[in-house]
A and B are shown apart, each in its own frame.
Chain A
Amino acid sequence: MPVRSSRFVRHGWAGLVASVLSATLLAGAAAAATPPLSGEKAAFPPFDVATFSGQLFWLAITFGALYWLMSTIALPRVGAILEERATTISRDLDNAAQMQAKAEETAQAYESALTEARKNAQAIAQASRDAGAKASDERRHAVEAELSAKLTKAEATIATTKTSAMSNVRGLGSEVAIAIVTKLTGQAPSASEASEAVDQVLARG
């Protein structure tokens, strides 16, 4: 609806301008209507037809020059500057976003490496602890087995020593009994009688 809007704009300004315009136009018309008496004294300057050709001529030259300067030099240059700035800014923003993504990636990788390492360390610690415990257990078992073997050996030695000592004691006892009986009675008993008597005493406790 461009025509509607243009009409709206025109009405808005027409109201403001109308009073001014009617006054100036009337003044101009009046000035133009009264013929210049002296010929030199011109009419209302903006309506002086004699100046139109010169004004149009110089307007065409100057506006043409301005249009040429703007369309070939100024506007492409300023447009290029603005475009370059826009691309520079967007490129920098892209770069920054990429850097940030990279940094985040690195941080994530570091984080995951750290958790991995921690897990590994725990596993290693557990394993070494287990291994240590196992080794010390084994050593203890070995030592215990050795000790118990030595103990049984020692007990056996004691037992044999004890029986041999006990048999020595019996022999010694019967000899002593024979010597005592001989001393008391003057009559030596037979060895079998003496050892029988010792056995009876030993059996009694």
Chain B
Amino acid sequence: MAAGGGIDPIHQFEIKPIVGLRPFGLDLSFTNASLLMVCVVAVVSAIMIYGSSQRSVVPGRLQSLAEMIYEFVASTVTGVMGKEGMTFFPLVFSLFMFVLAGNMLGMIPGSFTVTSHIIVTAAFAFLVIGTVLVYGIVKHGSHFFGLFVPSGVPGWLLPFMVLIEAVSFVSRPISLSLRLFGNMLAGHIALKVFGGFVVALLAAGGAATIIAPLPLLLAVALTALEFLVAFLQAYVFAILTCVYLNDALHPGH
């Protein structure tokens, strides 16, 4: 993968331990990924807790931001799940903010993107689906499995429909985790590759130097696109979380 100039687009995803921690033979080292996770919590807490500490009726800048995020997520939650969906508001809010802050902090050059690791996005996806299953079964009992039996389907088609619905349900955590992971990974690789082109063309010298600004322009455009993707993927993750949680709240078709 080592492109010209020794630039490796995969290098940025490497996990490097900062403080070694190996209890019971498990590698629980505090790594650069852990550091970024802590940074995510710090940034989100700074906006939401420090920002709202004034409790002023006429908000300042940071409080406006906190209120804006709150209302944005709250309107998404109530829009998909209705008023009773506010039960899941803290979960959806925490997921949205963790993913958004993780994506955004990953855009800082030289930092690490937490959400570019499949284990992180998979953990979030299984947290969501686990919540759906546990809440749905506890709340509705066997009625929850009516989710897999669409109404108004002729009898002979029903087994196939149940199978399709079941496959669609099982594929949810997979698609949820892979979408976020793939977007973040691919975006960062693309950025690195185009950045590498600039260096490689400059290093090649001669006529190649003249066209070196072209991949640079593309890298700038890609950076803007990546910021959009960083927000959009967090939003998509949050709204799909709402859609799946809605099944736990209202399992009937």
Q: Would you call B133 an interface residue if the criterion is a C-beta within 8 Å of the partner chain's C-beta atoms?
A: no
A74 engages B253 (CB within 8 Å): no
| In the complex, residue of chain A having the shortest beta-carbon distance to the beta carbon of B182 | A21
Q: B94 to chain A: which residues have CB within 8 Å?
A: 63, 66-67, 70-71
| In the complex, residue of chain B having the shortest beta-carbon distance to the beta carbon of A69 | B45
Option from A46, A51, A85 in Cβ contact (under 8 Å) with B181? A46
Per-residue CB contact flags for chain A residues 1-38 toward chain B (1 = under 8 Å, else 0) read 11101110110011001001101110000000000000
Per-residue CB contact flags for chain B residues 178-204 toward chain A (1 = under 8 Å, else 0) read 110111011001000000000000000
Given contacts A21-B178, A24-B189, A45-B10, contact A69 B120 (CB under 8 A): no
Per-residue CB contact flags for chain A residues 39-59 toward chain B (1 = under 8 Å, else 0) read 000101111101111111111
Option from A55, A75, A82 in Cβ contact (under 8 Å) with B33? A55
Q: Would you call A84 an interface residue if the criterion is a C-beta within 8 Å of the partner chain's C-beta atoms?
A: yes
Tell me how far the C-beta of B232 lies from the nearest C-beta in chain A, rounded to whole angstroms: 9
State in angstroms the CA–CA spacing of A5 and B168 once bound together: 13
Given contacts A13-B179, A24-B186, contact A55 B120 (CB under 8 A): yes
Q: How large is the interface on B (under 10, 10 to 19, 20 to 34, 35 or more residues)?
A: 35 or more
Q: B56 to chain A: which residues have CB within 8 Å?
A: 81
State in angstroms the CA–CA spacing of A50 and B107 once bound together: 25
Q: B98 to chain A: which residues have CB within 8 Å?
A: 62-63, 66
Given contacts A6-B244, A24-B186, A71-B90, contact A13 B37 (CB under 8 A): no
Q: Would you call B137 an interface residue if the criterion is a C-beta within 8 Å of the partner chain's C-beta atoms?
A: no
Q: Would you call A79 an interface residue if the criterion is a C-beta within 8 Å of the partner chain's C-beta atoms?
A: yes
Q: Would you call B52 an interface residue if the criterion is a C-beta within 8 Å of the partner chain's C-beta atoms?
A: yes
B28 engages A57 (CB within 8 Å): yes
Of the listed residues B90, B189, B250, the one surrounded by the most CB atoms of chain A closer than 10 A to its CB is B90
B28 engages A69 (CB within 8 Å): no
State in angstroms the CA–CA spacing of A51 and B120 once bound together: 11
Q: B246 to chain A: which residues have CB within 8 Å?
A: 2
Q: Would you call A88 an interface residue if the criterion is a C-beta within 8 Å of the partner chain's C-beta atoms?
A: yes
Per-residue CB contact flags for chain B residues 217-253 toward chain A (1 = under 8 Å, else 0) read 0000000000000000000100110011011001001
Q: How large is the interface on A (under 10, 10 to 19, 20 to 34, 35 or more residues)?
A: 35 or more
Q: Would you call B13 an interface residue if the criterion is a C-beta within 8 Å of the partner chain's C-beta atoms?
A: yes
Q: A59 to chain B: which residues have CB within 8 Å?
A: 37, 119-120, 123
B15 engages A55 (CB within 8 Å): yes
Q: Would you call A145 an interface residue if the criterion is a C-beta within 8 Å of the partner chain's C-beta atoms?
A: no
State in angstroms the CA–CA spacing of A82 and B64 once bound together: 11
Q: B118 to chain A: which residues have CB within 8 Å?
A: 46-47
Q: Which residues B22-81 have CB closer than 8 A to chain A?
A: 26-31, 33-34, 37-38, 40-41, 44-45, 48-49, 52, 55-57, 59, 63, 66-67, 70-71, 80
Given contacts A6-B244, A21-B182, A54-B29, contact A82 B90 (CB under 8 A): no
State in angstroms the CA–CA spacing of A146 and B48 once bound together: 107
Q: Would you call A203 an interface residue if the criterion is a C-beta within 8 Å of the partner chain's C-beta atoms?
A: no
A62 engages B41 (CB within 8 Å): yes
B168 engages A3 (CB within 8 Å): yes
Q: Would you call A125 an interface residue if the criterion is a C-beta within 8 Å of the partner chain's C-beta atoms?
A: no
State in angstroms the CA–CA spacing of A21 and B183 once bound together: 8
Q: A67 to chain B: which residues have CB within 8 Å?
A: 90-91, 94
State in angstroms the CA–CA spacing of A79 and B28 once bound together: 37
Q: Would you call A73 an interface residue if the criterion is a C-beta within 8 Å of the partner chain's C-beta atoms?
A: yes
B117 engages A9 (CB within 8 Å): no
Closest 5 CB pairs of A and B: A74-B48, A71-B90, A58-B34, A62-B37, A20-B186
Contacts A24-B185, A46-B181, A62-B38 supplied; 8 other A-B pairs, CB < 8 Å:
A3-B147, A24-B189, A45-B10, A55-B31, A58-B28, A58-B30, A66-B41, A69-B41
